[in-house]
Amino acid sequence: MIGNQLLHGGDYNPEQWLEHPEILEEDIAWMKQAGINCVTLGVFSWSMLEPEEGVYDFGWLEERINQLYENGIRVVLATPSGAMPHWMTAKYPEVMQVQADGKRNLPGRRHNFCYTSPVYRTKVREMDLELSKRFGRHKAVLLWHISNELGGNFSDGACYCEQCQQAFRGWLKQKYKTLDALNHAWWNRFWSHVYTDWGQVHAPAPHGEGVVHGLNLDWRRFVSDQMADFCQAEAEALRTYATLPVTTNFMEFFKPLDYHRLHKCLDVVSWDNYPDWHKNRDEVPVAVRSAAGHSLMRSLKKQPFLLMESTPSSVNWRPQNPLKRPGMHMLSSMQAIAHGSDSVQYFQWRKGRGGFEKFHGAVIDHKNGAGTRTFRDVMQVGDRLPAIEPWVKDTQNRPKAAFIFDWENWWALEDAAGPNHELDYVEEVLRHYQAFWEQGIDVDFISMEERLDGYALVCAPYNYLYRAGYADRVRAFVQNGGCYVTTCFSGVVDDTDLCFTGHHPLEDVLGVIPEEEDVPGDGFANSFVFDGVSYPVGRLREICHVKAPAKPLAVYSQDFYAGCPVVVQNRYGAGVSYYLAADTGIEFLRSFYSGVWKKTGLCNPFGLRLPYGVTTAVRNGKQDVVFAMNFSHDPAYLDGIGNWQDVDTMELYEGAVQLDGLSCKILIKQP
C-alpha cells in the first residue's frame, strides 16, 4: 500500500491561489475535516515552477508541501510535462505536436507535446532532475505522478512530425530488418504499395495512406512504445535522487495507447474514472463499464492500483452533467476499492475561478466552503476509508476467470474492413462481462501474452488477431483442464494482420471449421434455441461446421444455413471449449454463462442468484473481504446468504441482508 494507508485525496492547485494565504489556510483545515490524507500537486504547474527558461521557482511548492506535511497530509508529486509554458513553445516550436494532416498545433491547451522531440525531452529531464533532487527525499512525498493522461486530447495520442516519422522508420527497421520483410508483412504488392526505400514509409494519415492494415497496426504499436519510452525517461530522471515509486494516470479503455506496454515502466498503476452515472435511471451498463475499467487497471500488474481521479459531484465536459445522486459518491468510491484500488482521489480539491474547468465538480466549490452536500459526501468517504483499512490491507483480488482484452486485437479488429465494419470490441467484451458482473463474478482483463494457468475460465470474444504463441498457450490451457470461450471472427489474422490460411489455428481445441461470415440486413431475422429457450442472433453470423467429437448445443433456426451450429462445445484434453458462432445478446449470455460457471465452479460469495443491479467483488486475503454493491435506486434484499459480519458497523447478518438503493456493504464471512 502506498503510504501504508488507503489514500483519500485529489488534485490540488495551490499555485492558483498564492495571493490568498487565507484560502491556503482554509484548504488545510477543510482537508483535515474531510479526512483527506494526501493531495496531488504540480500537475500542469510548469509555468509556476520554471517561469523563465532555466530559472526554477520551487519555493512556493516547498512551502505548501511542508505545511501539508505538518498537518498530516502527504503528497503525490506530479511532473509538469502535461502542459507547456508559453516561453517554451515560443522559443522551440518543434516541441508542439503535428497532427495527422501535417499541421503543427499552435501553442496552448495541454497534452500538446511531441514525445520524440529531443528538445522537449531535455527540458522535461532537466525539470524532473530538479524535482527529484529537491523533493525526492521529502518525507511528505509518497509517489511521483508522471505528466498527465498521456496521449490525451489531440489526434489519437500521436504526433506526426518529421522527427516522429523518422523514429517510426527506425522502429520498423529494428522490427523487420529488411524492407522485403516489411513489404511481405504488410502485403504491399496489393495496390502496388511495395516500398523500395525506408524513407518512403509515412505514418497513416487522412490525406495519405490509411488502408494498409499492417502499417496501421505497427504505427499504433510504435506510438505506444514511443510514449512508453517518454514515460520511462521521466521515470529514470525521477529515480536519480530518490527511490520513490512512480505512476502515471491512465484512462480506462483508451484505444490509442496499449497500457499492457505502458505500465511496464511504472511501479503502480493509477487511473482516472469518470463514469456516466445517471445518464439513465438504469445504472447497470455504466456500473459494468466502470467495474471493468477498475478490473482492467488491477489486471495490468495483478496488484492493487490507485484511483487517481474521480469527481466528487459532476464533471463539466459532457454536454449534460448530472450531479451524483445521494449515495452514489460513496458507492462509486467503494466500487473502486472493491475492485482493487487502494485510494479514492478526486479531480479536484477546489474549483478554480477561471479556465475550462471552473465548473468541474470539486470538494470545495466557489461558494459555501465546507457547508455543502458534496463536502459532506466526501467527508463520509473520509470517515469510512480508515475504518475499513485494517480489513482491506494486504488483500488482493484474485478472480478465477479472465477475459482476453488486448489492444492489438482492438486495433486490428476495428480496422479489419471485414464483414461488419461496425464491430466494437469494448462493447462486445462488456456485453459478455455484464453477465459476470450481474452475478457478482469479478474477472481479470489480460493480454494475449499473459499466463492463462491459474484461471478456471478464459473468455475471448472477437479475438480476431492471434499474437505469436497465443494459440499454443490456449491449447495447453484447455489440455490441462481449463475452460475457454470464444466467438465468431476469432483466430482470423496473425500479428501482422495477415489472414491465416488452411485451418483455424485452434480448430482442434474448438472443434469448429468456420466457413463464411454473414451480415444480412433487416428482414433476415434468425434465432436459435438453447436450453429450451429461443434467442435472436445479432448482426454477425458465422456459418461453421462441427468437427467430431465437438457437439453443437444450438443451431440456426432460419435462412439457408438453418441447422448450422451457433453454440459448439468441445472436450479437449482435460478441459472444454465453447464457440459462439454468432453475435448473441445479454439474455442468452446470462443463461449460457450460468451453465459454464456451474461446470467451472465459479459463483459469487453468496452462492446466490443476485437481483438486477446488485453485484459483488472480493478482495482476497487471510480473510476475504466481500463488497456487496447495489447499483439500483431501489433497495435489494438478499436471502439465504449464510452469516456475515458488517465491517463498518460490526453488525451480524444471519442468513439475510438488505442493501439500500445505491449503497455498498462490506462483509466478512462468519461461521
Which residues form the interface with ligand GLA (CB under 6 A)? 148-149, 249, 272, 274, 309, 315, 347, 357, 360
In the numeric block, the cell 482537508 is attached to 31
**Shortest separation between residue 215's beta carbon and Zn ion, angstroms:** 18
CB of 440 to ligand GLA, least distance (A): 29
Query: Is residue 159 a contact point for Zn ion (CB under 5 A)?
Result: yes
Do you know the residue count of the chain? 671
d(CA 584, CA 430): 13
Q: Looking at 116, 290, 526, 570, which residue binds Zn ion (CB under 5 A)?
A: 116
Residue 114 binding Zn ion, by CB under 5 A: yes
Query: Given the complex with Zn ion, which of 157 and 575 has the nearer CB atom?
Result: 157
Q: Residue 360 binds which entry of ligand GLA, Zn ion, none, with Cβ cut-offs from 5 to 8 Å by kind?
A: ligand GLA
CA distance 392 to 381: 15
Element (H, E) at 446: strand 443-446
Find which of ligand GLA, Zn ion, none residue 114 binds, CB within 5 to 8 Å per kind.
Zn ion
**Could you tell which of ligand GLA, Zn ion, none binds residue 164, using a CB distance below 5 to 8 A set by kind?**
Zn ion
Closest CA to 477 of 571, 619, 565, 575: 575
Outline where DSSP puts E strands in 273-376.
Answer: 306-309, 343-346
Q: 582 is in the binding site of which of Zn ion, ligand GLA, none (Cβ under 5 to 8 A by kind)? A: none
Q: 494 near 465, Cβ under 8 Å? A: yes
Residue 509, binding choice from Zn ion, ligand GLA, none, Cβ under 5 to 8 Å by partner class = none
Contacts of 233 (CB under 8 A, 6+ apart): 121, 124, 125
CB of 347 to ligand GLA, least distance (A): 4
Residue at 433: amino acid letter: Y
As measured in angstroms, the least distance from the Cβ of 542 to ligand GLA is 39
Pick the closer one to ligand GLA by CB: 324 or 541.
324
Tell whether residue 161 is a contact of Zn ion (CB under 5 A).
yes
Partner interacting with residue 309 (select from ligand GLA, Zn ion, none; CB below 5-8 Å by kind): ligand GLA
**Which residues participate in catalysis according to the annotation?**
149, 309
Place of cell 494459440: 471
Selection from Zn ion, ligand GLA, none that 159 binds (CB < 5 to 8 A by kind) is Zn ion
| Residue placing its CB nearer to Zn ion in the complex, 159 or 456 | 159
All cell numbers assigned to 359 = 465548473
Window of 110-118, 297-305, 507-515, 650-658 that interacts with Zn ion by CB under 5 A: 110-118
Residue 11: which H helix or E strand, with range? Answer: strand 7-11
Contacts of 241 (CB under 8 A, 6+ apart): 129, 132, 133, 136, 137
Pick 104 or 467: Cβ nearer Zn ion: 104
Of residues 96 and 381, the one with the C-beta less far from Zn ion? 96
Q: DSSP per residue over 559-587, as a string?
A: STTTTSEEEEEEEETTEEEEEE-B---HH
Which of residues 351 and 619 has its CB atom nearest to ligand GLA in the complex? Answer: 351
Does 374 participate in binding Zn ion (rule CB under 5 A)?
A: no
CB of 92 to Zn ion, least distance (A): 12
Q: 3-class SS at 183? A: helix
Is-contact 486 427, C-beta < 8 A? Answer: no
> Which amino acid, residue 211?
V
Name residue 556's beta-bridge partners: 528
Q: How many residues bind Zn ion (CB under 5 A)?
A: 5
**Smallest distance, ligand GLA to C-beta of residue 297, A:** 14
Residue (of 96, 100, 15) closest to 62 by Cα position:
15
Q: Binding marks (x or -) toward Zn ion, 163..182, rule CB under 5 A?
A: -x------------------
Shortest Cβ 274–ligand GLA spacing (Å): 6
Of 153 and 623, the one with the shorter C-beta distance to ligand GLA is 153
Helices (H), 136-273: 162-176, 179-185, 213-238, 259-262
> Distance (Å, rounded) from C-alpha 33 to C-alpha 617?
30
Enumerate binding residues for Zn ion (CB under 5 A): 114, 116, 159, 161, 164
